[in-house]
């Protein structure tokens, strides 16, 4: 079945890159090529105006090397995160980062992974890259006012900006937000605790979430009894199970209730933020 393609717009190189990316799903693997050759071909296919010596930095070479030989999905995902964060730190725009990733996957994507299980999901990798780019870019411009003093996580206002940015990128790249991004949502019921104990529970949960999510996710506390970790949608199930294990001991404390759910992005940034902040119903993808 042929996927509908969004016509590329000359002012949006990222859209053209994603259109190429989506057209590759289901094709057979391209022939293997050495890393140096892949870098040169990737540079040419990316459409960048930068010279190869300036464009092919350490993170770029490492990402190309991740496709050299049998592919380890975890290694590829980590390399995508490092690449996107490096690009954000070097002031590359999200459209250019997306176009670079799309060009690489067009040249190097194998149909199955060499280590572990599953397949290389091009849209999932693109979402991971955009999430890492947005996280790094927002972190670079964040002030101390963006940090909740009790949990140490991002504030609701920080989360609002981040959600808006991710929705903007999905719209520019013609990707449904609900397919690309979602969040693990932790809801705390601490009404039976003293004020000091409530603060202790919130601080403890915040530390556990900050330790769990270190790969470009946004972890925020938009409400007193609510914390969320925004991330690519394809990893929600695995992350939700891991968080449940991390927080299992809290359920045994007197007066503490913990509910962990997974939620897809809504159709608009405003609706997504309201659902994550708990002010409206969202699109649940599992409890």
For the chain, what are the domain ranges?
Answer: 13-141, 152-282
Place 49 in a pLDDT band, splitting at 50, 70 and 90. Answer: confident
169 closest CA partner among 121, 135, 134, 140: 134
Q: Does 224 or 181 have the greater pLDDT score?
A: 181
Is the separation of the CB atoms in 12 and 94 below 8 Å? no
Contacts from 205-212 at CB under 8 Å and sequence distance 24+? 205/151, 205/247, 205/250, 205/258, 206/148, 206/150, 206/151, 206/152, 206/153, 207/152, 208/243, 208/246, 208/247, 209/153, 209/243, 209/246, 210/152, 210/153, 211/246, 212/239, 212/242, 212/243, 212/246
Tell me how far apart the alpha carbons of residues 267 and 163 are, in angstroms, rounded to a whole number. 12
| DSSP SS3 for 260 | strand
Least confident among 15-29, 66-80, 87-101 = 15-29
- Compute how many other C-beta atoms are within 10 angstroms of the C-beta atom of residue 65: 14
Q: What is the average pLDDT across 140-153?
A: 70
pTM: 0.54
The fraction of the chain above a pLDDT of 70, given in percent, is 76
pLDDT of the residue at 84 = 92
Answer yes or no: is pLDDT of 134 > 60. yes
What are the beta bridge partners of residue 182?
Answer: 231, 264
pLDDT of 181: 92
Write down the pLDDT at residue 223. Answer: 87
What is the assigned CATH class of domain 152-282? alpha beta
- Token pair listed for 287: 């409890």
pLDDT higher than 80, residue 226: yes
Higher-pLDDT residue of 30, 57: 57
The residue count of the chain comes to: 287
- Grade residue 140 by pLDDT with cuts at 50, 70 and 90: low
For residues 252-269, average pLDDT: 82
* 219: CB partners within 8 A, 6+ apart: 153, 154, 206, 209, 210, 213, 227, 228, 229, 230
Instruction: Report whether pLDDT(284) > 80.
Output: no
């Amino acid at each position: 079945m042929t996927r509908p393609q969004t016509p590329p717009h000359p002012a949006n190189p990222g859209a053209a890159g994603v259109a190429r990316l989506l057209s590759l799903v289901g094709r057979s693997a391209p022939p293997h090529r050495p890393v140096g050759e892949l870098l040169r071909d990737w540079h040419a296919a990316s459409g960048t105006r930068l010279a190869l010596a300036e464009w092919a930095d350490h993170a770029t070479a490492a990402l190309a090397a991740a496709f050299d030989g049998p592919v380890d999905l975890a290694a590829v995902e980590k390399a995508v995160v490092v690449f996107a964060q490096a690009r954000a730190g070097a002031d590359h725009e999200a459209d250019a980062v997306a176009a670079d990733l799309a060009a690489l996957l067009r040249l190097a994507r194998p149909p199955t992974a060499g280590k572990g299980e599953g397949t290389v999901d091009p849209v999932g990798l693109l979402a991971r890259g955009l999430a890492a780019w947005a996280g790094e870019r927002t972190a670079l411009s964040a002030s101390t006012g963006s940090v909740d003093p009790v949990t140490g996580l991002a504030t609701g206002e920080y989360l609002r900006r981040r959600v808006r940015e991710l929705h903007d990128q999905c719209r520019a790249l013609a990707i449904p937000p609900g397919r690309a991004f979602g969040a693990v949502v932790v809801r705390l019921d601490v009404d039976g605790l003293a004020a000091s104990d409530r603060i202790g529970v919130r601080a403890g949960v915040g530390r556990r979430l900050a330790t769990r999510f270190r790969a470009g996710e946004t972890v925020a506390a938009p409400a007193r009894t609510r914390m969320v970790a925004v991330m690519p949608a394809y990893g929600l199930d695995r992350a939700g199970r891991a968080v449940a294990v991390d927080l299992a001991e809290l359920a045994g404390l007197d007066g503490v209730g913990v509910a962990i759910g997974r939620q897809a992005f809504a159709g608009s940034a405003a609706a997504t933020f309201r659902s994550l902040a708990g002010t409206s119903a969202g699109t649940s993808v599992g409890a």
